[in-house]
Amino acid sequence: ELLPEEEKENARSVRIPKSRILTLPELRANPFQHRICRVFSTSEDGDDSMSFEDFLDMLSVFSDSATSEIKSHYAFRIFDFDDDGTLDKKDLENLVNCLTGQSEESRLNSAEMEQLIQNILEESDIDKDGTINLSEFQHVISRSPDFASSFKIVL
Amino acid sequence: PRAPGAAAAPRREAAAQVGFRAALYFLFLREFQQADIKYLSGWNQWKRSSRKSWKKVFDEAKEVLSYLELWRHDIHSIEGKFGTGIQSYFSFLRFLVLLNFVIFTLMFSFVTLPSIISKYGIFNSSFDEIPAKSIEPHCTVYTPSGNKGLIYFYTYPKDLLSGTGFLEMTSLFYGYYTIDAAWISIFRYNLPLAYLLTTFAYLALSLLWIIKRSVEGFKQNLVHDEDQFQSYCNKVFAGWDFCITDLNAARLKHRSLQYELKTDLEEERLKQKIADRTMKDKLRIYSLRIFLNIIVLAVLSGCFYSIYRATVFSQGNISNVSIRHDIRTNSNLLVQYLPSIVITLANFIAPQIFSVLIRLEDYSPAFEIRLTLMRCVFVRLANIGVLLFSLWSQISYCATEKCKACGYNYELYPCWESQVGQEMYKLLIFDFIIIVAVTLFVDFPRKLLVTYCSCKPVQWCGLQEFGISDNVLEIIYGQTICWIGTFYSPLLPAIATMKYFIVFYIKKISLIHTRKPSARPIRASSSNFFFLVVLLIGLVLAFIPLGISIAHIPSSKACGPFRNFNTSWAVVPHTILGFPTGLQKVLYGIASEAFAVPFFMVICLVMFYFIALAGAHKRVVEQLREQLVMESRDKLFLIRKITEAQKPLD
Report strand pairing: B515-516 vs B464-465.
Answer: parallel
From A134, which residue of chain B is nearest by alpha-carbon distance? B16
pLDDT at B10 over 60: no
What is the tens place of the pLDDT at every residue in B579-595? 888 888 888 888 888 88
**DSSP class of residue B126?**
E
| pLDDT class of B328 with cuts at 50, 70, 90 | very low
Contacts of A75 in chain B (CB under 8 A): 237
In which band, very low, low, confident or very high, does the pLDDT at B294 lie, cut at 50, 70 and 90?
Answer: very high
A142 in B contact zone (CB under 8 Å): no
3-state secondary structure A57-97: HHHHHHCCCCCHHHHHHHHHHHHCCCCCCCECHHHHHHHHH
Please determine, for residue B607, whether its predicted confidence score (pLDDT) is greater than 90.
yes
Give residue B133's pLDDT: 66
Other Cβ atoms closer than 10 A to B386: 20
Average pLDDT rounded to a whole number, residues B270-299: 88
pLDDT tops 70 at residue B3: no
**What is the model's pLDDT at position B584?**
87
More confident residue, B466 or A78: A78
Least confident of A97-106, B4-13, B87-96, B202-211: B4-13
Strand partners, B181: B128, B190
| pLDDT value at residue A57 | 87
Q: b/e string for B390-414 if b means 16 or more Cβ within 10 A?
A: bbbebbbeeeeeebeebbbbbebbb
Residues of chain A contacting residue B12, judged by C-beta atoms under 8 Å apart: 85-86, 133
How confident is the model at residue B132, as a pLDDT?
64
pLDDT at B500 over 90: yes
A127–B236 CB contact, under 8 Å? no
Q: Could you report the predicted ipTM of this complex, rounded to two decimals?
A: 0.88
Let me know: does B175 contact B418? Beta carbons within 8 Å. Answer: yes
Predicted pLDDT at B223:
57
Contact residues, B window 258-287, toward A, CB-based 8 Å cutoff: 258, 261-262, 265, 268-269
Per-residue confidence (pLDDT) for residue B564, from 0 to 100 = 81
- B-facing residues of A in 5-44 (CB < 8 A) are 25-26, 28-32
Q: Residue B18: is its pLDDT beyond 60? A: no
Segment among B48-62, B209-223, B573-587, B589-603 with least mean pLDDT: B209-223
Report for B19-28, B41-50, B90-99: range of highest mean pLDDT: B90-99
Confidence of residue B4 (pLDDT cuts 50, 70, 90): very low
Q: Look at residue B483 and tell me whether its pLDDT is greater than 90.
A: yes
B23 pLDDT band, cuts 50/70/90, is low
Interface with B, mutate which of A71, A74, A86, A123 (most B CBs under 10 A): A123
Inform me whether the pLDDT recorded for B205 exceeds 90.
yes
pTM: 0.75
The pLDDT assigned to B324 comes to: 45
Q: Are A133 and B12 an interchain contact pair (Cβ–Cβ within 8 Å)?
A: yes
Q: Mean pLDDT of all residues in chain B?
A: 80
Alpha-carbon gap: B66 to the closest alpha carbon of chain A (Å): 22
CA-based nearest residue in chain B for residue A111: B265
Indicate the pLDDT class of residue B323, thresholds 50, 70 and 90. Answer: very low
| pLDDT of amino acid B150 | 62
Selected residue with higher pLDDT from B264 and B611:
B611
Largest CA distance in chain A: 55
SS3 B142: coil
Contact between B245 and A23 under an 8 Å Cβ cutoff? The reply is no
Q: Please give the DSSP secondary-structure letter assigned to residue B554.
A: B
Query: Does the distance separating the beta carbons of A126 and B639 come in below 8 Å?
Result: yes
> Taking CA atoms, what residue in B is nearest to A146?
B238
Q: Is A55 near chain B, with CB under 8 Å?
A: no
Torsion of CA B575, B577, B582, B587, to 10 degrees: 70
Cβ of A81 under 8 Å from any chain B Cβ? Answer: no
Confidence check: pLDDT of B52 > 80: yes
Select from B238, B260, B259, B240 the least CA-distant residue to B250. B240
Q: Per residue in B351-382, pLDDT tens?
A: 888 888 888 887 877 777 778 888 888 898 88
Q: Does A94 touch chain B (CB under 8 A)?
A: no
- The closest of B318, B321, B354 to B339, measured between CA atoms, is B318
Alpha-helical runs (H) found in B277-415 = 279-325, 333-336, 338-361, 365-395, 401-406
Which residue, A87, A72, A55, is CA-closest to B26?
A72
Contact B393, B490 (CB under 8 A): no
**pLDDT digit string, tens, across residues B434-459:** 999 988 888 888 888 888 877 777 77
- Test A150 with B242 for CB contact under 8 angstroms: yes
Averaged over A70-97, what is the pLDDT? Answer: 90
Pairing, β B187-190 against β B125-128: unpaired
Residues 612-631 of B with CB under 8 A from A: 628
- Contact check, Cβ <8 Å, B245/A25: yes
Q: Which helix (H) or strand (E) holds B61?
A: helix B42-67
Residue B265: which of A116, A147, A152 has the nearest Cβ? A116
- Report d(CA B35, CA B29) in Å as an integer: 10
**Residue A25 scores a pLDDT above 70:** yes
Sequence-ordered list of residues with C-beta below 8 angstroms from that of B364, at least 6 positions apart, any chain? B267, B270, B271, B274
pLDDT-based confidence at B109, cuts 50/70/90? very high
Predicted local distance difference test score (pLDDT) of residue B7: 45
CB spacing of A144 vs B640 below 8 angstroms: no
Helix (H, G, I), strand (E, B) or coil at B275: helix
Which residues does chain A have within 8 Å of residue B23's beta carbon, measured at their own beta carbons? 69, 138
**Which pLDDT value is given to residue B199?**
93
Give the residue from chain A lying closest to B20, CA to CA. A135
pLDDT tens-digit series, residues B278-290 = 888 889 888 999 9
CB contact under 8 Å between A69 and B23, yes or no, is yes
Nearest neighbour of B234 by CB, restricted to A99, A146, A154: A146
Q: How confident is the model at residue B432 (pLDDT cuts 50, 70, 90)?
A: very high
Specify whether the CB–CB gap between B158 and B330 falls below 8 A. yes
In terms of CA atoms, which chain B residue is nearest residue A155?
Answer: B243
Nearest to A144 among B12, B237, B246 (CB): B237
Chain B residues with CB-CB distance to A152 below 8 A = 242-243
Q: Which of A62, A138, A139 sits opposite B242 (nearest CB)?
A: A62
Pairwise CB contact (< 8 Å): B238 & A141? yes
> Between chains, do A108 and B636 touch, taking CB under 8 Å as contact?
no
pLDDT band at B97 (very low <50, low <70, confident <90, very high): very high
DSSP annotation string for A87-138: B-HHHHHHHHHHHH-SSGGGSPPHHHHHHHHHHHHHHH-SS-SSSB-HHHHH
CB-based contact A106 B27, cutoff 8 Å: no
| C-alpha distance from B202 to closest chain A C-alpha (Å) | 40
Name which of A29, A106, A145 is nearest B234 (Cβ-Cβ): A145
pLDDT of residue A12: 62
A39 vs B22: CA distance, rounded Å: 24
B187-190 and B464-465 strand pairing: unpaired
Chain B environment of A29 (Cβ under 8 Å): 244-247, 249-250
> Would you state the pLDDT for residue B326?
39
Residue B125: pLDDT over 90? no
B47-56, B62-71, B105-114, B193-202: the lowest-pLDDT one: B62-71
CB pairs under 8 A between A and B: 140
Q: Which residues contact B504 (CB under 8 A, 6 or more apart)?
A: B71, B90, B93, B94, B97
SS (HEC) of B14-57: HHHHHHHHHHHHHHHHHHHHHHHHCCCCHHHHHHHHHHHHHHHH
What average pLDDT does this structure show over B514-534?
70
